Structure 1
Amino acid sequence: MSVVPCLAWVKRGVAKRIPDKVELEKEELRRIIRETREEIDGLEIEGNDDIDSDTSDEEEEKKDKEEKAEGEEEPKPSSSGLSQEKQTSVPGKRKHEEDLVDDDDDDIVEKYGLEDYDDEEFNFHSGIGNLVYFADNKEDPYINDHDEPDSDDENVMIKPSDNLIAVARTIKDASLLEVYVYDEPDSNLFVHHDIILPSFPLAVEWLDYDPTEETGNYVALGSMNPTIDIWDLDLIDSLEPVFTLGTKQSKKKSKKKGSVLGHSDAVLDLAWNRQSRNVLASASADFTVGLWDLTEAKAVSSIRKHEEKVQCVKWHPAEQQTLLTGSFDSTVRLFDCRDAGYNHKTWSFAGSEIERVVWNHYNPYFFYASTDKGNVYYVDVRYDKPIYTISAHTAAVSGLVLSSSIEHMLVTSSSDQTVKVWDVKDNEPKHIVTKDLKLGEIMCALPCPDSPFVFAFGGQGNMKVWDIRQSAEVKSYFKTGEAFNICLEDHGGNKSNDEEDDDVLIKKTKGLKIKHPKKKGKKKMKDKKDKKKSKDKKKDSSL
């Protein structure tokens, strides 16, 4: 089964027109293979040690019971009056026949080399160390057809009008980072190249910071490991990240709260600071938030205010020191990272785990937060209580995004397998349309940075790019132009009219609840103003 837990957009014009291709020297490839094998062997040793330590007590107890049982048991006479030893003896004729069979078995074992079969170890860990045995295909005796390298650059060319989408995907036990090209005018979506990942991916964040050059095209990737890998999207056939933040810890060690050197558990979310481009924030299952200096490739601070796993982080769109975090402890916290230990504010949403947070980049005093109960809260950071609450979905709201340039458009996605579009103008949320994208449980959602009506979603088995102008309700309500087609995986999404008719559009808003805090006095003031206006009109008419 395939799963897409996270993805990231890349703006147009950022990627190299023709990406570089990695051509490793033989010695370099041998080094990578050797180090990967050593790492796998280390994991196996640790795993065996853990198993031994867990089962040693049980084995000792079992052994004691067996010894005790042997001491108590005595040979019992059989019904025929013979001892058990005599009763189990084999007649000479049968013994001779078995010796002949044993000789045949010995010949088979010797012929097919089965003597050491049981001693051979099977490696359950996947990785390049198990797939590659020769640094050069010319050294492999099983490869006779040595193809010349393909020099056709048109196959890898990226146009200035193309967006890239970095899609983290897991298929059974294998994890990949697939780099898609999204060509909006031609409604085309295809995989440009991919990267083998060492662990199950949980978070992807694009960044352009390069300490040696002016800008770059990178993604930071968080996974089940406590480390963060930085990959260059302008490199094809890369086997290693450009660099890694943090260090892996032994499985024998308990997963305690992270230290200043990094995390001790899975990295659940990442946020790149666009104001201070060398700073990256990370949320972890070790209850901490890490702040990383990309120039030095090390952690510079660790925020330890949450009491449960930190699920999400977002930098303020204008203030470089302000960071928003959400946690399984039912709180959203706002930190001034210049002194995060003292300068912070907390909002509590009792009984709910925070799934996503997002700043309103059109009015940065406000942010949205979603929960595992299906609610979306809109909060003014200057106040303690939300402005309003939307009962948006029947399950966890895993996607919470604003359009890149349509001010009042909010899009939510959920584990209930639906995507919803909202108009949130004047703090009066209005439901526009609900759509089932046939992705199963939706795990992530992000807006295209260059197209206000285009969004990407990842779910169970697939990823999909949806131009929401395909919805007649959206097109009519927002008075949009023509829509482009939905694109699926590695082929264009040119859909027939029949397929468009089959799209599930749930237009009813039954069960939708929007809660506003009580506004005292406003209605009375409005009534007074209306009465005053009517009196003024009467005076004017009498004159």
Structure 2
Amino acid sequence: MANLLELVTAEQLEVYELTGLKGEGLGLSFSSEGNCIAICGNDPNILLFDNYVDCKKGGFPLVGHKNAVLEVCWSKQSNGTLVSCSADRTVGLWDVEFLKCLTRFKGHSEIVNSCKIEDSIIVSGSDDGTVRVWDIRVSTKESCIYEHKWNYQITAVTLDCNMSNIYCGGIENIIFCIDLRGNNIAKITGHNDTITGLDIRSETDQLVSNSMDGSIIIWDVRPYSLVEDRKLSTLVGSQHNFEKNLHRVRWNGDGDLIAAASSDCYVYIWSVKYQKLFQKLPGHTGATTDVSFHPKLPIIASIGMDRRALIGKYTN
């Protein structure tokens, strides 16, 4: 039996392709233990792959959405819980052990572009200009515990591990920090175009953002930052083009690497310590849209507009 991760780690496979995508790829994510990966795209079905079984088998479909799925995110606290957001205007919560949709949160009036989960809290951002916070512990009708509306589309969201601060951005070029405890909203400025991806470093106060202005910026988001403009460093290399895809950006588990998708078909990886490009990974024939680091191994996954999802090893 061919174990996918063993083959890639042992370099018997330089790159492995996950098959089954029926449309352009938009998002993917390794589970918290790294034993599964979920991929999504213009097909309403999410595909779930078990990395420790025969890699020639296709993915298991998670059926529930009615339109394209733009992003997927695993719970760090529960290896069997996945959240998704869709062009059908809903946010999905999944029990992957039983391949079952537990609920679809309704409330957005337009495409939901981004979602994240931390413990029992889900945050989502939509073209309707709203950020919504959902509590999975309460009934569906009462599960939206917070909502804020802006005048422009929200394209990326994330939240910290304490579930106290939400970060969101969109076509207004500004990152907003929502303090849920004090119900305060602060602005982080520095980008000159749409924010396409946000990710916060686990248990720290560093946020990374990707923008259509072509820059990846690391921000100090401590409440009383000593950095005047909060900008710790700017990483360059990845690209955006006229297609205006939502190219995502991700930290690795150790917080020493950052990876981003790019319109030039590559995956870019930077060293945070040295603030320089670490690797530029080929393999796709169309723009890449999302990336995901394996939580334990030097393996990275990517997905793109070429309808391909690839898993490969990067230099450790």
TM-score interval for Structure 1 and Structure 2 normalised by the shorter chain: 0.7 to 0.9
Equivalent residue number for residue 341 of structure 1: 141
Distance 2:273 2:112 in 1: 35
RMSD of Structure 2 on Structure 1 (CA): 2.7
- One-letter amino acid matched to 2:223: D
Equivalent residue number for residue 401 of structure 1: 199
Distance 1:341 1:203 in 2: 28
Shift of 1:376: 0.5
Please, which runs of 5 or more residues in structure 1 have no aligned partner? 1-17, 22-152, 160-180, 182-189, 209-214, 247-261, 472-482, 492-543
Q: Deviations over 1:6-52 (max 9, x none)?
A: xxxxxxxxxxxx9527xxxxxxxxxxxxxxxxxxxxxxxxxxxxxxx
Distance 2:199 2:251 in 1: 7
- 2:106 corresponds, among 304, 321, 335, to 304
Normalising by structure 2, report the TM-score.
0.76
- 1:443 corresponds, among 203, 225, 247, to 247
* % identity of equivalent residues: 23
- One-letter amino acid matched to 2:192: T
Equivalent residue number for residue 365 of structure 1: 164
Equivalent residue number for residue 279 of structure 2: 487
Q: Structure 1 residues 230 and 432 mapped into 2: Cα distance closer, same or farther (>3 Å)? A: same
- 1:222 corresponds, among 40, 65, 77, to 40
Q: Deviations over 1:392-429 (max 9, x none)?
A: 31111112122346x23222111111111222233445
Equivalent residue number for residue 85 of structure 2: 283
Q: Which of the two has greater helix per residue? A: 1
Matched, 1:20 2:3: yes
- 2:115 corresponds, among 305, 310, 313, to 313
Equivalent residue number for residue 419 of structure 1: 216
Shift of 1:224: 0.6
Matched, 1:390 2:188: yes
Normalising by structure 1, report the TM-score.
0.46
Equivalent residue number for residue 192 of structure 1: 15
Asked whether the equivalents of residues 8 and 15 of structure 2 are also in contact (C-alpha less than 8 Å), the reply is no
Q: Structure 1 residues 227 and 345 mapped into 2: Cα distance closer, same or farther (>3 Å)? A: same
Asked whether the equivalents of residues 214 and 240 of structure 2 are also in contact (C-alpha less than 8 Å), the reply is yes
Distance 1:438 1:293 in 2: 34
Count of residues paired in the alignment: 271
Question: Aligned to 1:486, what secondary structure does the other structure show?
Answer: strand
Equivalent residue number for residue 96 of structure 1: none
Structural mapping, 1:78-97, within 5 Å: none
Q: Structure 1 residues 409 and 295 mapped into 2: Cα distance closer, same or farther (>3 Å)? A: closer
Asked whether the equivalents of residues 195 and 239 of structure 1 are also in contact (C-alpha less than 8 Å), the reply is no
- 2:31 corresponds, among 207, 212, 222, to 207
Distance 2:237 2:202 in 1: 21
Equivalent residue number for residue 514 of structure 1: none
Asked whether the equivalents of residues 266 and 282 of structure 2 are also in contact (C-alpha less than 8 Å), the reply is no
Q: Structure 1 residues 339 and 392 mapped into 2: Cα distance closer, same or farther (>3 Å)? A: farther
- One-letter amino acid matched to 2:102: V
Q: Structure 1 residues 438 and 327 mapped into 2: Cα distance closer, same or farther (>3 Å)? A: closer
Q: Deviations over 1:204-231 (max 9, x none)?
A: 02126xxxxxx76211111111111112
Shift of 1:432: 2.8
Q: Deviations over 1:451-471 (max 9, x none)?
A: x23100111121111003333
Equivalent residue number for residue 271 of structure 2: 467
Q: Deviations over 1:59-109 (max 9, x none)?
A: xxxxxxxxxxxxxxxxxxxxxxxxxxxxxxxxxxxxxxxxxxxxxxxxxxx
Question: Aligned to 1:352, what secondary structure does the other structure show?
Answer: coil
- One-letter amino acid matched to 1:418: S
- One-letter amino acid matched to 2:188: I
- 2:153 corresponds, among 350, 353, 362, to 353
Asked whether the equivalents of residues 401 and 447 of structure 1 are also in contact (C-alpha less than 8 Å), the reply is yes
Structural mapping, 1:150-189, within 5 Å: 156=7, 158=9
Distance 2:51 2:98 in 1: 21
Shift of 1:264: 1.0
Q: Structure 1 residues 443 and 490 mapped into 2: Cα distance closer, same or farther (>3 Å)? A: closer
Equivalent residue number for residue 541 of structure 1: none
Asked whether the equivalents of residues 19 and 157 of structure 1 are also in contact (C-alpha less than 8 Å), the reply is no
Q: Structure 1 residues 427 and 375 mapped into 2: Cα distance closer, same or farther (>3 Å)? A: farther
Matched, 1:244 2:61: yes
Distance 2:76 2:205 in 1: 23
- One-letter amino acid matched to 1:223: G
Asked whether the equivalents of residues 373 and 396 of structure 1 are also in contact (C-alpha less than 8 Å), the reply is yes
Shift of 1:377: 0.9
Asked whether the equivalents of residues 356 and 397 of structure 1 are also in contact (C-alpha less than 8 Å), the reply is yes
Q: Deviations over 1:419-444 (max 9, x none)?
A: 11222233445223323214335711
Q: Structure 1 residues 439 and 426 mapped into 2: Cα distance closer, same or farther (>3 Å)? A: same
Distance 2:143 2:86 in 1: 21
Shift of 1:234: 4.1
Q: Which of the two has greater strand per residue? A: 2
Question: Aligned to 1:231, what secondary structure does the other structure show?
Answer: strand
Q: Structure 1 residues 390 and 199 mapped into 2: Cα distance closer, same or farther (>3 Å)? A: same
Q: Structure 1 residues 323 and 435 mapped into 2: Cα distance closer, same or farther (>3 Å)? A: closer
Distance 1:191 1:413 in 2: 28
Equivalent residue number for residue 51 of structure 2: 233
Q: Considering only CA atoms, is the larger Rg found in Structure 1 or Structure 2?
A: 1
Distance 2:221 2:181 in 1: 20
Distance 1:237 1:297 in 2: 19
Shift of 1:157: 5.8
Shift of 1:278: 2.6
Shift of 1:236: 6.8
Q: Deviations over 1:294-347 (max 9, x none)?
A: 23212221211111111112112xx33x22111111111111222131142333
